[in-house]
Amino acid sequence: MSGGLTNLGNTCGINSLLQCICYVNKLRDYIISNECEDNTNIKYQLKDIYNKIWNDKASVNPVGCINIIYKIFPSLNRFEQHDISELWMLLSDKLAEEYGTPMSLPSNFVNVESKVYDTLYKNNNKKTSEWIESIQGVQISTIVCPNNNCNNCSWNPEIFTSLVLDIPNQDNSIFLSDLMKNYFKKEELNGWNCDKCKYNGNAYKENTLYSLPDILTVTLKRFAFVGDRYIKLRTSVVIEDEITITILNNKKNYRLKSIGIHHGSIMGGHYTAICYNSNNHCWYHIDDSSSVKVSVNDVLRLLQNNKDVYILFYESE
């Protein structure tokens, strides 16, 4: 039995995210194993909390960590509900900065490799770390000029710390794997300009995966505009607890470790987490300070039919 985290006034989003991260073995082990003396760092606060809830199994008051989070991210208002997916982006970037050590630029890379390297170098403020390598993937967006005499191919690497998948507003359920396929579907651009032949008109942009992180985070984009209304999409998504992704001949198998759930409506709502403890092979439903064991069947039922699952943490095996 692992501990929960006290709610300090609308902190259920932060609490649920901290729990989701804690149950991804590689991330938790990395955070716990890193020495840090400075208690104004998030990595110090997380290490402190994870030592308590993972090793001592006690419920924890995360006041120190929450105060540092509000201090570092002034855009987050106290006592307001936070979007757990946006929190993940903020927190993972901040940790990338804190853990980062200077990245050297090798001179012998060519073409794709060097452009990807350059993008990573700039995106991470010239820093690298095991944290960054564990959570960041690279996709390449490609546009081929439709002018047959030209066929100019412009491409750019893009870094992601979460695959943010669009959800259709529909009554019947949809598979997560189909949402992923849609994500990598060609997207039509209007008024595209070719810088080589000066073609102006429609073209297709396509995203392909270049490298996969060990920790794959997937956000189901449930908060979206439908017409002029910003709503929560409650389309049921069928989620696979194991997924395999292949890039060229490189196959990666992932297992679901943590699920962040947004209950209720867009106006109010509450976050909880369902996480897999790989030490005892049990799932837990963690609702702030309460952590309750749930059966595998309950989790499988949830994955088969759910309208509230918002963020998923997969870890490669």
The answer to whether 145 contacts Zn ion (rule: CB under 5 A) is: yes
Nearest-approach distance from CB 154 to Zn ion, in angstroms:
9
The answer to whether 153 contacts Zn ion (rule: CB under 5 A) is: no
Q: Which is nearer to Zn ion, 168 or 201 (CB)?
A: 201
The answer to whether 95 contacts Zn ion (rule: CB under 5 A) is: no
Size of the site for Zn ion (CB under 5 A): 8
* Choices 50-58, 144-152, 221-229, 299-307; region in contact with Zn ion by CB under 5 A: 144-152
The answer to whether 147 contacts Zn ion (rule: CB under 5 A) is: yes
Nearest-approach distance from CB 206 to Zn ion, in angstroms:
16
Nearest-approach distance from CB 207 to Zn ion, in angstroms:
20
* Choices 67-75, 81-89, 163-171, 195-203; region in contact with Zn ion by CB under 5 A: 195-203
What is the sign of the dihedral through the CA atoms of 309, 313, 316 and 317? negative
CA 171 – CA 177 distance, rounded (Å)? 18
Q: Which is nearer to Zn ion, 117 or 199 (CB)?
A: 199
Distances (CA, A) of 241 to 7, 175, 302: 29, 12, 11
* Choices 130-138, 162-170, 176-184, 189-197; region in contact with Zn ion by CB under 5 A: 189-197
Q: Which is nearer to Zn ion, 58 or 189 (CB)?
A: 189
**Among the listed residues 6, 114, 152, 182, the single contact to Zn ion using CB under 5 A:** 152
**Among the listed residues 196, 251, 255, 293, the single contact to Zn ion using CB under 5 A:** 196
| Binding region for Zn ion (CB under 5 A) | 145, 147, 150, 152, 194, 196-197, 199
